Structure 1
């Protein structure tokens, strides 16, 4: 390999790394500005530090809970409940959505029921889940399943129904039967819509779980936030909220990673 080509590759690699670093820095500007305001406003008296402590105080509380093991125990409890309910919802919702989207008769039969459930707020049913299933793990996981199921089902149905008709006609003209048409054309084309529903469900799983944990739980991030408010340990309360935000971001990035793996054939910018 010539010296010129080596130098070109080095320059290209440096340029690419610089572009990646610039994009990462540019994407962090708003977050850094927000955290800086959070630190400065309580210290300058613009807001009451009793109710909104500086971000450094929140980080200190976060570190102390991490060292004591309190944060890890509550985080593990919430993550296990959210992941269990989310996984059950995806395992049920994707096949159900594919069936409803592919078979028009089944869709006509189930659509009225789906419309009722999709327009019933999960949190409105929280007392029902508690009364029927009790205040243990079952009711909390069931709440997550219920809240996550409908975004997955409805987006999967939409993905199947909105497959490009030209692709379907071309596949049929090549002699593909209904099963092979579904597996080779419809299913791959509907994957982006399916993952849109899965990402929405991931956000719902955290949101609904925290509300459920604030009612009768003895562990979990929702319990931690609620208990810290009652005992007026405000830095711990905000530390729990920050942990919830990180958990939600981690959940979302994991789903996006899997989606990019499964849709690599589409190309991503």
Structure 2
């Protein structure tokens, strides 16, 4: 059996225990959320049983307002993550290739990066209003950093011998970057995008809850909380957010493993 065949045979064996552990954790959490309210440990007025929330969530799928809120949140998430990726990957590649540029810009990055995106809400509402653009600016500001720093790390991690070999074959600098540097750093970039995807969803829902703007799951949860008479509806919106986060992370993680699995095997 060749080495490639051995590696392919080992991958499912590694995934199966991880999947079983994940399912076990979800089942345990579901049992806790079901049993604790029914035993009276927590008042059901504040924490309904999980089964009640699930029933409410299924009922909400028949509501056009709920479906529209979910789609609006996903649209904002997708656009924000896409714009951040288009900004961070080229900029991170540039900073990773040039030590001088990286050192010059590091002070500016360290000054801007710690600013909480939520702190920019009042200013952006004054400038852009409660619009989709306002949410996109906050999402991009929040998620550009993990993609940027992962890209920088990936570019700086490229083996110099590969670059020297490409140049010895007559590759121009732009062609060397495109053919050698970017493919070698791509696994790092993908990891940054996966990390940023979860942050983007958190920021979108949070901004929708605080600042409103175009409809989304955050605004849906905030409106349900303001009414305050249908607690399961609040938790149904919250649960939907968690389901979206789990689905997004799983899909991006699966794509990352399939496309860049060679990088993990090489490190092993």
- Show the counterpart of 1:229: 225
Is the partner of 2:215 in helix, strand or coil?
coil
Aligned residues, how many? 255
- Show the counterpart of 1:70: 65
- Show the counterpart of 1:5: none
Is the partner of 1:50 in helix, strand or coil?
coil
Following superposition, the deviation at residue 264 of structure 1 comes to 4.3
> What is the RMSD of the two structures over their aligned residues, measured on CA atoms?
2.6
Question: Please, which runs of 5 or more residues in structure 1 have no aligned partner?
Answer: 1-12
When normalised by structure 2's length, the TM-score is 0.85
- Show the counterpart of 1:252: 249
Q: 1:150 to 1:26 in 2, by over 3 A?
A: closer
Following superposition, the deviation at residue 56 of structure 1 comes to 0.7
* Structure 2 residue 145 is matched with structure 1 residue 150: yes
Q: 1:114 to 1:82 in 2, by over 3 A?
A: same
Q: 1:17 to 1:167 in 2, by over 3 A?
A: closer
- Show the counterpart of 1:242: 239
Distance 1:93 1:131 in 2: 27
Following superposition, the deviation at residue 18 of structure 1 comes to 10
Does 158-167 or 224-233 show the bigger shift? 158-167
Distance 2:184 2:248 in 1: 24
Give every structure 1 segment of 4 or more consecutive aligned residues whose post-TM-superposition deviation is greater than 6 Å.
16-22
Q: Map residues 1-269 of structure 1 onto 2, 5 A cutoff.
A: 24-168=19-163, 171=166, 177-214=172-209, 215-217=211-213, 219-232=215-228, 233-266=230-263
**Radius of gyration: which is bigger?**
1
Following superposition, the deviation at residue 84 of structure 1 comes to 0.9
When normalised by structure 1's length, the TM-score is 0.84
Following superposition, the deviation at residue 174 of structure 1 comes to 6.1
Distance 1:101 1:109 in 2: 12
